[in-house]
Amino acid sequence: MTGVTQTGIVIDRATAASPDSVFAALSEAASFASWFGGEDVDVPAESLDFNAVEGDTWRATMVLPDGNTIDWQGTFVRVERPTRFDFTLTDQPGGGGTEALVTVAIAPADGGASLQMTQETPDFPHEQKAATLEGWQTFLDGVLRIAEAELAAE
């Protein structure tokens, strides 16, 4: 099921890429900088502090097409290669906002992998949940494009 739920959003995806490739695309800094924000957003390497170790924090800055920026931070909650990648995120670093939990479960499926991603959306109105769902759909397109690039290279 993909859609808006009472507590957040959920997205189910399938890919021909292996679970390990999907996990790597999600959790490696260079890949993260490529997919986080989508194709039209830049995440400069110098703004990225992203080493996916359980309990560690991460930071990134998105540079939007109009030149505006959004600072992000969070914590790696659960990092279990290649089946689970959970982290928190907020666009209000420095304690100004609630860190939402993002969970990604990855499993082998039909010669590739399936993934289910959820994000808590505390206090989001329905329109904001729908926008968050749309944004994550774009982000996951990038994750799977990176993961599937290995198949094309083989």
Tens of pLDDT, residue by residue over 131-151, are 999 999 999 999 999 999 977
| Residue 125's pLDDT band (cuts 50, 70, 90) | very high
CA 50-53-59 angle, to 5 degrees, is: 25
Q: Give me the pLDDT at residue 42, please.
A: 94
Domains of the chain: 3-153 (3.30.530.20)
Task: Tell me the C-alpha to C-alpha distance, in Å, between residue 125 and each of 7, 88, 121.
Answer: 11, 20, 9
> Angle at which helices 126-153 and 19-27 pack, to 10 degrees?
120
User: Taking a C-beta distance cutoff of 8 angstroms, is the pair 47, 36 a contact?
Assistant: no
Nearest to 82 by CA among 148, 27, 43: 27
Q: Give me the pLDDT at residue 154, please.
A: 64
Per-residue pLDDT reduced to its tens digit, 54-104: 999 999 999 999 999 999 999 999 999 999 999 999 998 877 778 899 999
16-55 burial, b if ≥16 CB within 10 A, otherwise e?
ebbbbbbbbbbbebebbbbbbbeeebbbeeebbebebeee
The burial of 86, by beta-carbon neighbours within 10 Å (0-12 exposed, 13-18 middle, 19 or more buried), is given as: middle
pTM over the 0.95 mark: no
